[in-house]
């Protein structure tokens, strides 16, 4: 739409410009053509030039509009209000401080100085308002309790590991994830890079993530892919943290390092592994569970089995029960960064 409209406007202006230029030329003396012929030639030439440049300008305008639209979608309503407020405050300050600059000579220098003031203070106003968004939200919550939106309703941003993992889709369908769920363009690009990898495992992981996103683009729990990038930030994790900080969103991931970095920088993050670990049944010492002793342990007399949720169970004196389903008594439970580990002994003969 932008391209066609811009082409029409530029072609019309070009035709009018060609008509104006024709009036400045003595067509009989210089060209030897009749007046109507010269008018038609100049109008066609001007309209053609306008049509060509209109297409170029229209494409740039359309690209800028789409970027601005994606940027607005990534902002919450409160952030948008704060940004507009900061913009207005910055423009007012620029209007006051730029008055002495108007008297500079030559006048064009004064004009450039005023424009510079407006640009700088508009940017500073918007950035200052967004940097202080959390302080403003806390202040509003004190003035009008309950007026701030719950943190669970903020926009959720998926990272590459969460998309490949796929468990977020079940959480989404079950209604445990509130707010819009979005995937930035640089995460999609990383998935595409994985899908094009020469390594079979990486290629399979990338294609799994792309297939899952394709399946979730429509329906009640649709996941939105939007274009955004931070060229000055080299790594994808850094881009995610910056995006979440700018938009006030929450990162969904299974990456332990990204989780820690986001928390250190004060960015909201939901780690699916943490959720899964918290939902595992709590097995207390003395409790009896039934497992299959699947393999030998590190020690000579140990056997290793797994609970239905994947929790590893180390069975002391369990080697004689390899390959068998047996009842074991929990002796202790160890919680580590990698998950929960249960230690037990066979119930037989206890």
- Position 134 scores a pLDDT of 56
Q: Are 169 and 272 within 8 A, CB to CB?
A: no
Q: Is the peptide bond before 106 cis (omega within 30 degrees of 0)?
A: yes
- Position 71 scores a pLDDT of 67
- Position 16 scores a pLDDT of 81
What's the full length of the chain, in residues?
A: 350
* Residue corresponding to tokens 């180390």: 314
Question: Domains in the chain, ordered, with CATH?
Answer: 2-128 (no CATH), 152-278 (3.40.50.1010), 282-346 (2.40.50.140)
Tens of pLDDT along 45-94? 888 888 888 888 888 877 777 777 766 666 666 677 778 888 888 888 88
Cα distance between residue 202 and residue 205, in whole Å: 5
- Position 150 scores a pLDDT of 41
* Residue corresponding to tokens 């940017």: 123
- Position 66 scores a pLDDT of 75
Q: What are phi and psi of 182, to 5 degrees?
A: -130, 155
Cα distance between residue 206 and residue 200, in whole Å: 10
- Position 151 scores a pLDDT of 41
Q: What are phi and psi of 23, to 5 degrees?
A: -70, -15
DSSP secondary structure of 2-51: HHHHHHHHHHHHHHHHHHHHHHTS-HHHHT---HHHHHHHHHHHHHHHHH
- Position 314 scores a pLDDT of 92
Tens of pLDDT, residue by residue, the chain (350 residues): 667 788 888 888 888 887 777 666 655 555 566 667 777 777 888 888 888 888 888 888 777 777 777 666 666 666 777 788 888 888 888 888 878 777 767 777 778 878 888 888 888 888 887 776 655 555 544 444 444 444 445 788 888 888 888 888 888 888 788 778 888 888 888 989 988 888 888 888 889 888 888 888 777 778 888 877 787 788 888 888 888 887 778 899 988 888 898 888 888 888 888 887 777 777 788 888 888 988 888 888 889 998 877 788 999 988 888 888 889 999 988 876 566 788 999 987 55
């Amino acid at each position: 739409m932008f391209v066609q409209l811009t082409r029409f406007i530029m072609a019309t202006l070009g035709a009018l410009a060609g008509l104006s230029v024709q009036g400045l030329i003595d067509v009989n003396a210089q060209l030897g053509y009749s007046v109507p012929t010269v008018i038609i030639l100049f109008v066609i030439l001007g309209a053609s030039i306008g049509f060509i440049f209109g297409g170029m300008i229209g494409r740039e305008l359309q690209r800028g509009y789409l970027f601005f639209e994606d940027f607005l979608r990534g902002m919450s309503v409160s952030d948008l209000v704060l940004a507009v407020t900061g913009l207005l405050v910055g423009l007012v300050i620029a209007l006051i401080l730029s008055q002495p600059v108007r008297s500079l000579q030559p006048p064009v220098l004064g004009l450039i100085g005023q424009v510079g003031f407006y640009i700088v203070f508009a940017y500073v106003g918007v950035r200052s308002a967004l940097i202080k968004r959390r302080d403003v939200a806390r202040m509003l919550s004190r003035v009008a309790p309950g007026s701030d939106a719950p943190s669970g309703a903020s926009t959720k941003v998926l990272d590459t590991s969460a998309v490949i993992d796929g468990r977020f889709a079940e959480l989404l369908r079950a209604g445990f994830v509130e707010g819009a769920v979005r995937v930035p363009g640089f995460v999609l690009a990383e998935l595409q890079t994985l899908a094009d990898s020469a390594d079979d495992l990486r290629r399979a992981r990338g294609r799994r993530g792309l297939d899952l996103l394709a399946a979730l683009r429509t329906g009640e729990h649709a996941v939105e892919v939007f274009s955004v990038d931070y060229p000055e930030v080299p790594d994808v994790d850094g881009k995610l943290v910056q995006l979440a900080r700018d938009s006030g969103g929450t990162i969904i991931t299974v990456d332990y390092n990204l989780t820690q970095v986001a928390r250190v920088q004060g960015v909201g993050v939901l780690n699916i592994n943490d959720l899964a670990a918290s939902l595992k049944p709590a097995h207390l010492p003395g409790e009896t569970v039934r497992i299959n002793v699947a393999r030998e342990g590190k020690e000579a007399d140990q056997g290793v089995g797994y609970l239905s949720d994947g929790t590893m169970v180390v069975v002391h004196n369990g080697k004689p029960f390899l390959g068998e389903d047996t009842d074991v008594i929990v002796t202790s439970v160890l919680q580590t960064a990698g998950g929960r580990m249960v230690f037990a002994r066979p119930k037989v003969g206890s």
